Amino acid sequence: MKVTVSEKGQVTIPKGLRDRLGIRRGQVLDVRAEDGMLFATKAVDDDPVEAVYGILTLGVPTDLLIRRLRGTVEE
């Protein structure tokens, strides 16, 4: 496929290619040049676990919460 670079240096990714690759409006792409070629890849989102780490407020120490959840152990 051929695309034309605009005055602002922009290119339009053809719709068929966007659909096939799942590229949506607002998608962030990583762009790099290698051996005279231009590569664009979908940017990897931050680790989803890191994004939510530390947002839960329990109100009690974790050890106490675990004891409450597990209950007493009978032997």
CA-based end-to-end distance of the chain: 71
- Structure confidence at residue 75 (pLDDT): 66
- Structure confidence at residue 51 (pLDDT): 77
- Structure confidence at residue 38 (pLDDT): 94
What is the enclosing helix (H) or strand (E) of 31? strand 29-34
CB 43 within 8 A of CB 29: yes
Q: What is the pLDDT along the chain (75 residues), one digit of tens a residue?
A: 899 999 999 999 999 999 999 999 999 999 999 999 999 999 887 777 877 888 888 888 888 888 889 987 776
CB 21 within 8 A of CB 41: no
